Structure 1
Amino acid sequence: METKGLLEKIRYCNSLTEYSRRKTIPVKVGDVIIGGDNPIVVQSMTTVDTMDTLGSVEQCIRMIESGCQLIRITAPSIKEAENLKNIKEELRKKGYNTPLVADIHFTPNAAEIAAKIVEKVRINPGNYADKKKFEVIEYTDQSYQEELERIRERFLPLVKICKEYGTAMRIGTNHGSLSDRIMSRYGDTPLGMVESALEFLRICEDENYHDIVISMKSSNTQVMVQAYRLLVQKLEEGGFKPYPLHLGVTEAGDGEDGRIKSAVGIGTLLEDGLGDTVRVSLTEDPEFEAPVAKTLVDRYLDRSGHSHIDEIEHIPVTPFEYNKRDSIEVFNFGGTNVPRVIADISAISQITEKEMKNIGHFYLPELDKWKMNDQGADYVFSGNNPIPFMLPNGMKEIQNFKIWLKSEDQVNKFPAFTLDELISSEKHHYGLNFLILSDVEVKRAIPYIEGRKDLVIILYSENSHNMAALRRAFFTLMENHSLIPVVVKVAYPKQDNDKTMLYSATDVGGLLVDGLGEGMMISLDAYKNESREIILNQIKLHNSVSFGVLQAARTRMSKTEYISCPSCGRTLFDLQETTAMIRKRTDHLKGVKIGIMGCIVNGPGEMADADFGYVGSGKGKITLYKGKEVVKKSVPSSKAVDELIEIIKKDGMWIDPE
């Protein structure tokens, strides 16, 4: 579907083709300035009990030394809000001037105390003046307006204190904790998230208070990206000031999954110049968050001056909702198929059956059989190094065209052409051919690919503004009504594994959340001259990352998804240990989503679309959920994992591990 003229109506970023930071008003938070012409600020949140002054101070120092420029501390009640003064004083005595942010849920009185002590307060519009009961309420325009007046009365004292004390504020909407009132009128939507924040923002602007940062966080990367874009659009349309944005994906999880999921959401927005401060939410100690956030934001320090990308006259996608690009089905690419993973093994010669375990396929020599796990690659690209043994059923090999021409099996192996080879060759596979195509070649390729039903494009770009260049190439195909499936190929120099995770999650994930891409491939080119061991490790990493990106973008669920909060001073149990324990028992449940929340603040709402939930409800007590429905309350933590598994079994979603 081509949306003609839509470009003129889209104002969520300066440009879709030329990197440019969105210009915002500067917001002063102590000695740190968010927005304006200032660098993107990295922040994180403590996990120690706020009443533990010494423990909080020591953790703050570890966070600062890891690169944290703002520190958020929970203040769930008045006593914690008051103790922020002691934490701040101790930090200042030790020579640390890093600004502090009070995190507030449900307790306006704590917010009003904290605003006189720290440099910034974060409030959640979904629970600042509302109690969430998951009720559907019918409102007339008059009754809705009366609700807004009630919110104004509750919120106004905080605004006045912040204005008097020079305290900044973050209006932080969370997808999972929208109020019943917002849900009743707007539903569980990005528009509901945006309107939730704008209700509070209007009150601030009426009081001429503008030291505000806004966030639109969700554990669903598609929703998160859409909500931030829509927020910027609505700010522009409504004549609001261009407030800075705090970027984050809630409950991203831990390890590789948490990093990839964060990058899909945060990186997609950074690519279009959105974002002024970033927090990566990992279920790990907070000092591990800032380096990940810094790796994400530092990528844009030298992004300006990238190679030219043709301007876009018409945008053939709607950036505020998910719609998968239409494509024909070629073998098992495109159409209604999930995106495919192509594992690049071309840098290694004479790969063995045993080494195929690096891409999820396991050869059992005693049985002469193959076994595949949930991350078994769909295709392998062998390039100029054909595989010397029979592949397992269901897995296929792609060879460079000149190698394929010499192959004895031109049916079960598939050729990969350059554009010139495709144009000049009369020989091709009867049903599936791959065209390795650069973004700058797409226009030239159009006449030669038009109408073909036996072709899959492997699309890449050498532009440093990679995601935007690839997106432009997709738009060119769509403008020319091409329905050919496209696999996105990305390539990076030799670098830390974290960078490969974060960069590919940004470059490919940013396309997938807009419905672009029928597959993914990470190139091995940079490792061709490395040792066999290093190459095999990279093959394993690339395969795992590819499946992780597809899952984080919500386009292919290949493993259990854990929506786990990053812990804070409100947490009622050891989140890292509990998450690891639940993962150990359930990580074979492909596609099942399990929310693991430290307290009721991050409870049924924050779990958003989890199938099952494990939520701290008191010391040593757990509440278990099916969706947003409480199934069991006050379960002793020693029995809670077993009880959770029983609930999964009763719901018919359990399978025994092999």
Structure 2
Amino acid sequence: MDLFNYSRRETIEVNIGATPMGGSNPIRIQSMTNTATQDTKACVAQAKRIVDAGGEYVRLTAQGVKEAENLKNINAALRQDGYMVPLVADIHFNPKVADVAAQYVEKVRINPGNYVDSARTFKHLEYTDEEYAQELRKIHDRFVPFLHICKENHTAIRIGVNHGSLSDRIMSRYGDTPEGMVESCMEFLRICVQEHFTDVVISIKASNTVVMVKTVRLLATIMEQEGMKFPLHLGVTEAGDGEDGRIKSALGIGALLADGLGDTIRVSLSEAPEAEIPVARKLVDYIVQRHNHPYLPGADVPEFNYLSPTRRETTAVHNIGGDHLPVVIAARLNGTMDFRPPFMPDYVYTGRILPKALPEGMQGIVDADVWMQHSAEGAELSSIWPAFKGDQLPFLSSCGASLKFLFITYMGLNDEAIACLKYHPEVVLVSQSNHPNRLGEQRALTHQLMKEGLKNPIVFFEHYAESELENLQIKAAADMGALIFDGLCDGIFLFNQGEAINGQAVDTTAFGILQAGRVRTSKTEYISCPGCGRTLYNLESTIARIKAATSHLKGLKIGIMGCIVNGPGEMADADYGYVGAGRGKISLYKKKECIEKNIPEEEAVEKLIELIKNNGDYNRE
């Protein structure tokens, strides 16, 4: 694939009602209801709101045959009111339910982790080769009749793998790995190919963005090797709500869309389903506008592994690069030091203003000519460093600072700049781009550095002119996603023109992007599902209560899950978990271990806080 120039992956067209996916069709937007599927009126009303917001598919959960049967009534009511949106049934644990649902909806989602395999127990089970093969035959024998029903009813399917619900069988052979997730999917895809069933869409999701991106990249590669061109459904599960959900989703989904992967997306927010649609639309529109952009002559290097990237080797300059966490640089061009803990940038760029005082632990950056003038006048500049522009390159050698910043573009990395950088390892590059595909240009810059053997750290300067914070969050996360997952990021410098969004909000976004990419933690992380018809308690109000009580706990991960389908699995790397166990009942987890079951909902948040306190984690700062 071309890492530097945008084009969509070639896929076959899949028929899903009157809204086909893949091929030359646009990237589709979808969401999922969170009302009880037996409540026809509520499901129809919510589906309408999703469609009115711009949703092109609506998914509903079907826990049992009764719910699957009621999909017929929901479908009919929508059609009667002129809503022709394709409906998708979401099935777990019971293949009989999938058989029924396939008669009444346009697409059925099945989960390979629990379609035939029993529910995950988190116990390591041993399978002989013959036992493993026998399990595959069981999948084949149960799955083929379902495909026949789908053929008869012109129903498409989605093979939807979730990181949190891999079977113990897959875990025994592959472990909790991207390879295991891909194989879980491929087992079913190969049967589809054998049966000449092509109306298939694939999703492969995780709440961990690093796992999600790596796995989808691997899946696309394996499918290509096996001659498959099925469309991809993208999503980050349990992304959360508010700014966290938007940044996390845009980072993971955006990184894949930017590489041409993805034919439909669902942004999973712990909010009303219709709130997901505008976020998804903004993300898709932002990525696809780079279609037919001016060609970028980048060249990838052999040491870069797209499927399993590692952090680019750099020389540490003070606290930037090497093994240091990526830094955050903020802009305060008026010299005002208005920062908010815990989102205190490592450096503040003040342009042509020499700051009079800096917050404790923070360092300053000023334009090189200003720095050199004050240095010549004997000013104290021990924690303030010069920033050079490309046309100031000849003056770089005459500056004695032990840390220097050089703003540079890919086209500015000419022979003169390369020769200069080979003699100046103390220079940190600040990558700029005005290209329609800034990700491609910034990737090209870093690959050129690797080709030349240059190990200068690189900070990505991402500039915008947004008046709405949500737009900034989506665009900045989408632009930074692949750079972080590729291991190229030594820092982020986020800049937004205009006063509509204050500097503190920009700083928070920068830290949020690094945390969503799992490269730097600055606050509590919440792994919370968007809710569906299986949700067993009031998700939104519960999340708000838990956040209010725990948001000060830096570095802690808390899972808040509506039911057990993905609950224990997706929050496996969380420190604590809050999972719906029954109507109005909650189970609490520490890591993968269930500590207390069936707690009344009204007591559960306090019990969670008590559990955190008893384990000595409530006073983290």
Matches within 5 A, 1:308-387: 308-346=295-333, 349-351=334-336, 353=337, 356=338, 359-360=339-340, 373-387=341-355
Distance, in Å, in 1 between the alignment partners of 2:82 and 2:177 is 44
Distance, in Å, in 2 between the alignment partners of 1:454 and 1:311 is 25
Q: Which residue of 2 aligns with 1:409?
A: 380
What is the Cα deviation at residue 580 of structure 1?
A: 0.7
* Equivalent pair of 1:614/1:625 in contact (CA under 8 Å): yes
Correspondent of 2:158 among 153, 158, 170: 170
* Equivalent pair of 2:429/2:459 in contact (CA under 8 Å): yes
Correspondent of 1:179 among 167, 170, 180: 167
Distance, in Å, in 2 between the alignment partners of 1:195 and 1:494 is 42
Correspondent of 2:482 among 500, 510, 525: 510
Distance, in Å, in 1 between the alignment partners of 2:155 and 2:619 is 52
1:457 and 2:429 aligned:
yes
1:285 and 2:272 aligned:
yes
Q: Which amino acid aligns with 1:345?
A: R
Gapped regions of structure 2 (runs ≥ 5): none
1:471 and 2:435 aligned:
no
* Equivalent pair of 2:251/2:481 in contact (CA under 8 Å): yes
Q: Which amino acid aligns with 2:358?
A: L
Deviation by residue 1:311-342 (Cα, 9 ceiling, x = unmatched): 42534322222411111111111111111110
Superposed structure 1 runs of 4+ greater than 6 Å apart? none
Distance, in Å, in 1 between the alignment partners of 2:175 and 2:541 is 35
Q: Which amino acid aligns with 1:104?
A: I
What is the Cα deviation at residue 403 of structure 1?
A: 1.5
What is the Cα deviation at residue 430 of structure 1?
A: 2.9
Q: Which residue of 2 aligns with 1:6?
A: none
Q: Which residue of 1 aligns with 2:234?
A: 247
Deviation by residue 1:438-484 (Cα, 9 ceiling, x = unmatched): 12112432110114232211111111111111111111111112111
1:581 and 2:545 aligned:
yes
Q: Which amino acid aligns with 1:164?
A: E
TM-score under structure 2 normalisation?
A: 0.97
1:235 and 2:220 aligned:
no
Q: Which amino acid aligns with 1:96?
A: Y
Q: Which amino acid aligns with 1:384?
A: R
Greater shift after overlay, 313-322 or 150-159?
313-322
Give the share of equivalent positions with the same residue, in percent: 48
Distance, in Å, in 2 between the alignment partners of 1:400 and 1:465 is 27
1:448 and 2:448 aligned:
no
State the SS of the aligned residue for 1:299. helix
Distance, in Å, in 2 between the alignment partners of 1:443 and 1:52 is 65
* Equivalent pair of 1:41/1:277 in contact (CA under 8 Å): yes
* Equivalent pair of 2:554/2:620 in contact (CA under 8 Å): no
Q: Aligned in 2, Cα 1:250/1:273: closer, same or farther, shift over 3 Å? A: same
What is the Cα deviation at residue 204 of structure 1?
A: 1.4
Q: Which residue of 2 aligns with 1:98?
A: 85
What is the Cα deviation at residue 202 of structure 1?
A: 1.2
Distance, in Å, in 2 between the alignment partners of 1:69 and 1:106 is 27
Correspondent of 1:568 among 532, 535, 542: 532
Q: Which residue of 2 aligns with 1:275?
A: 262
Q: Which residue of 2 aligns with 1:10?
A: none
Q: Which residue of 2 aligns with 1:364?
A: none
State the SS of the aligned residue for 1:600. coil
Q: Which residue of 1 aligns with 2:138?
A: 150
Q: Which residue of 2 aligns with 1:192?
A: 180
Greater shift after overlay, 180-189 or 425-434?
425-434
Q: Which residue of 2 aligns with 1:363?
A: none
TM-score under structure 1 normalisation?
A: 0.91
Distance, in Å, in 1 between the alignment partners of 2:520 and 2:67 is 42
Q: Which residue of 2 aligns with 1:393?
A: 360
Greater shift after overlay, 39-48 or 132-141?
132-141
Q: Which amino acid aligns with 1:645?
A: I
State the SS of the aligned residue for 2:79. helix
Number of residue pairs aligned between Structure 1 and Structure 2: 615
Correspondent of 2:608 among 623, 628, 644: 644
State the SS of the aligned residue for 1:143. helix
State the SS of the aligned residue for 1:332. coil
1:226 and 2:196 aligned:
no
Q: Please tell me the root mean square deviation across aligned C-alpha atoms, in Å.
A: 1.5
Q: Which residue of 2 aligns with 1:427?
A: 398
What is the Cα deviation at residue 495 of structure 1?
A: 4.4
Deviation by residue 1:169-194 (Cα, 9 ceiling, x = unmatched): 00011111111011111111111111
Gapped regions of structure 1 (runs ≥ 5): 1-12, 361-372, 528-533
